Homo-oligomer: A and B are copies of this chain.
Amino acid sequence: MASSLIPPQPVIYLVEPFGGSIRRQNANIAHVYWDDAAVTRGDGIFETLLIHDGAPVNLAKHLARFRRSAEALDLPDPGVDHWVKATREAVADYYRERGEIDDTSAEAKCVWTMTRGRETTGVPTAWLTVRPVDPLLLRQRETGVKTVTAPRGYTITSGATAAPWLKVGAKTLNYAASMAALRWARKHGCDDVIYVDHEDGRVLEATTSTVIIVRKDKKLRTPAPGSEILAGTTQQAIFEYAAEQGWRCKAKDLYVDDLLSAESVWLVSSVRKAVRVTELDGRVLSEPGRDADIRELVELALLSQRDV
């Protein structure tokens, strides 16, 4: 039994690149150096996975995106086996240390990080953490979130005016602007920001999640991923499963009016799962009376992607 007097510590594993060692890192000891590219330049990639019932959810999609992110940033391929092994070991440690070895029903959050590494070595720094899901997100799954739309403040140029070195679809550590957006939303009594294109008003994504709308007659819609919309692993899992259940699922341009006229609007991400948007720019989005069905759909979709 874990003592309740000791606050739970995250489990950290260092994952040495190029087939090196996987080893536990004491969470009370810093392991990132002053000259790491993550620290000096925000130069690295990450993935956030949900651990459900003792196993990672949507593992294949996270692995695929992690590798795509590395490629887009000209980082070495992080590989697969190493990360899977480290994740399993860390998850086992996590539940054992909480005395929950036979009760892994509590969800956890696992984050993979790989940076360009120390300036002095040039070898990527990589590690993963496993820790409890943020209580705020657990609460939001129940209460939903109040959101406000706003332009993102910057646009990625594409086509002939694209920068040749910027590849889209990478999940990088450059999230300071999104964090600023979240702080701004909270100051204004909201929980999150849904970005809209500053020119044509297209709905893009929320600060750290994908937008999905539910329409009558079992239809699901999400904005098509591209240079301004990260392809969401959770959204993909939901659409794949829902399609099998007879839903008609499409990625297409959405506008604020589409959100207002939808049966319900959801923000989805790995650890958040699905939270309903209860307010959009001050307008209450009424409860459609089918929240439970949608939640169950999401739950089953994620379980179908659980890696056992």
> Which residues of A come within 8 Å of B, CB atoms?
10, 12, 25, 27, 29-44, 46, 73-74, 111, 113, 115-116, 127, 129, 150-157, 161-166, 172-181, 183-184, 198-199
Q: Which residue of B73, B153, B165 is within 8 Å of A162 (Cβ)?
A: B153
Provide the residues of chain B in CB contact with A198, threshold 8 Å: 157, 161
- Complex Cα gap A174–B174 (Å): 6
Given contacts A154-B156, A184-B165, contact A36 B41 (CB under 8 A): no
Given contacts A153-B162, A164-B150, contact A176 B32 (CB under 8 A): no
Provide the residues of chain B in CB contact with A113, threshold 8 Å: 34, 39-40
Provide the residues of chain B in CB contact with A34, threshold 8 Å: 10, 12, 25, 27, 30-32, 113, 127, 129
Copies in the assembly, this chain: 2
User: Are B173 and A39 within 8 A (Cβ)?
Assistant: yes
- Complex Cα gap A113–B129 (Å): 25
Provide the residues of chain B in CB contact with A152, threshold 8 Å: 157, 163
A74 to chain B, nearest CB (A): 6
Provide the residues of chain B in CB contact with A162, threshold 8 Å: 151, 153
Provide the residues of chain B in CB contact with A184, threshold 8 Å: 164-165
- Complex Cα gap A206–B41 (Å): 16
A206 to chain B, nearest CB (A): 14
Provide the residues of chain B in CB contact with A181, threshold 8 Å: 163, 165
User: Are A157 and B155 within 8 A (Cβ)?
Assistant: yes
- Complex Cα gap A173–B43 (Å): 9
- Complex Cα gap A115–B34 (Å): 12
Given A25-B34, A30-B31, 19 new contacts (CB under 8 A): A10-B34, A36-B39, A37-B176, A37-B179, A40-B111, A40-B113, A41-B173, A41-B176, A42-B172, A74-B180, A74-B183, A151-B163, A152-B163, A154-B155, A161-B199, A164-B184, A165-B183, A174-B174, A174-B177
Provide the residues of chain B in CB contact with A33, threshold 8 Å: 30-32
| Residue ID in chain B nearest A175 by CB atoms | B41
A161 to chain B, nearest CB (A): 4
Q: List 7 A-B contacts (CB under 8 A).
A: A30-B33, A39-B113, A40-B111, A41-B42, A42-B42, A43-B176, A153-B165
